[in-house]
């Protein structure tokens, strides 16, 4: 019987250069989607999937992320004194969503490094990895969808989305061996950004993983790739030589808020979904389109 997935690793140590100068002093994970930072949406999704321990792998420039999930007694006192009870309740609940652990990233560049950095906190448990700048919207949280696959098969699971030809040059593309359940594939390989002619499918791996502890040894045996990066997908492909790896095609909408266009689209989509903003957002967009057509 598979162990429960209780821990998530969220790497948040990157520089966020695509959003400079906004990210010169503010972490990209703290960029707001309407009125909440991206990282809070990611944590909320993890908690809604049953996660209890949130491990944030940070750097010296990411204190704002740590502060966001900490108490702010001065702000809470002011909100209480001014009678802003709803906002006070919301602020107090942020830090109580989960057990938060912060680890400074050390080691070579690449998205596998933050995973290795917290090996001592994982032990022999399965765990999830979510990226701090990817937002998912759906009736069922993506991690919960993936946990269902892990509980059935007991092997690592990758989150996947369908992409077009352009997407094959932006993402790692999966090479499925067989569809074992509707929307669930056992994999025989992966290719990093192959382009439409070399892509084995139109299924892309995004920053959503459920991994088992043997991934750590696989990472340690993975050689640096382009730019000296230790890439998590390369380590997963190495692990695939020893055990099955599955992919779950996720039901819902995926936003890469690490790009400017993706961040803008996530804000618009969020506004159109919110009862307090959707009517005003629709009218604003209508006027903008009409104005551009003239």
Assign residue 135 the CATH number of its domain. 3.90.550.10
Q: Is residue 286 part of a domain?
A: no
Q: Is residue 282 part of a domain?
A: no
Q: Is residue 227 part of a domain?
A: yes
State how far the Cα of 74 lies from the Cα of 272, in Å rounded to an integer. Answer: 33
Judge residue 183's burial from the number of C-beta atoms within 10 Å of its C-beta, 0-12 exposed, 13-18 middle, 19 or more buried.
middle
Q: Is residue 179 part of a domain?
A: yes
Per-residue pLDDT of the chain (294 residues; tens, 9 = 90+): 568 999 999 999 888 888 889 888 888 999 999 999 999 999 999 999 999 999 999 988 888 999 999 999 999 999 999 999 999 999 999 999 999 999 998 877 788 899 999 999 999 999 999 998 899 998 999 999 999 999 999 999 999 999 999 989 988 899 999 999 999 999 999 888 889 899 999 999 998 999 999 999 999 888 887 777 888 999 999 999 999 999 999 999 999 998 999 999 999 999 999 999 999 999 999 988 886 665
Query: By C-alpha distance, which of 215, 218, 191, 217 is closest to 205?
Result: 191
In sequence order, the β-bridge partners of residue 181 are: 184
Report the pLDDT value the prediction gives residue 16, as an integer from 0 to 100.
81
**How many distinct structural domains can be found in the chain?**
1
Q: Is residue 291 part of a domain?
A: no
How far out from the chain centre does Cα 139 lie?
17
Q: Is residue 200 part of a domain?
A: yes
Domain that holds residue 127: 7-258
Q: Is residue 133 part of a domain?
A: yes
pTM of the prediction? 0.92
Could you please report the per-residue DSSP string of 142-190? HHHHHHHHHHHH-S-EEEEEE--TGGGGTSEEEEEEEEEETTEEEEEEE
Report the pLDDT value the prediction gives residue 2, as an integer from 0 to 100.
67
State how far the Cα of 176 lies from the Cα of 245, in Å rounded to an integer. Answer: 10
In sequence order, the β-bridge partners of residue 53 are: 7, 99
Query: By C-alpha distance, which of 89, 144, 128, 152 is closest to 215?
Result: 128
Structure tokens that stand for 87 in this block: 């906002």
Q: What is the pLDDT of residues 103-133, one digit of tens each?
A: 998 877 788 899 999 999 999 999 999 998 8
Q: Is residue 271 part of a domain?
A: no
Report the pLDDT value the prediction gives residue 224, as an integer from 0 to 100.
80
């Amino acid at each position: 019987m598979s162990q429960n997935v209780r821990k998530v690793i969220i790497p948040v140590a990157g520089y966020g250069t695509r959003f400079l100068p906004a990210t010169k002093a503010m972490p990209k994970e703290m960029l707001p989607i309407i009125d909440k930072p991206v990282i809070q949406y990611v944590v909320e999704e993890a908690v809604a999937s049953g996660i209890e321990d949130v491990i944030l792998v940070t750097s010296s420039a990411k204190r704002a992320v740590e502060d966001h999930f900490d108490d702010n007694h001065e702000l809470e006192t002011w909100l209480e004194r001014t009678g802003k009870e709803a906002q006070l309740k919301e602020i107090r609940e942020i830090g109580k969503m989960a057990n938060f652990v912060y680890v400074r990233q050390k080691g070579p560049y690449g998205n596998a490094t933050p995973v290795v950095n917290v090996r001592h906190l994982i032990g022999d448990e399965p765990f999830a990895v979510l990226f701090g700048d990817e937002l998912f919207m759906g009736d069922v949280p993506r991690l919960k969808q993936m946990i269902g696959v892990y509980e059935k098969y007991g092997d690592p699971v990758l989150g996947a989305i369908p992409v077009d030809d352009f997407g094959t040059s932006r993402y790692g593309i999966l090479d499925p061996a067989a569809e074992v359940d509707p929307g669930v594939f056992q994999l025989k390989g992966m290719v990093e950004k192959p382009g439409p002619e070399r892509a084995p499918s139109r299924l892309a791996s995004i920053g959503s993983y459920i991994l088992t502890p043997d991934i750590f040894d696989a990472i340690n045996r993975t050689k640096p790739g382009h730019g000296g990066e230790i890439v998590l997908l390369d380590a997963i492909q190495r692990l695939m030589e020893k055990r099955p790896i599955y992919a779950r095609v996720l039901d819902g909408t995926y936003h890469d808020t690490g790009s400017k266009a993706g961040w803008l689209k996530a804000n618009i989509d969020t506004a159109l979904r919110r009862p307090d903003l959707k009517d005003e957002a629709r009218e604003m967009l209508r006027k903008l389109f009409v104005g551009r057509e003239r």
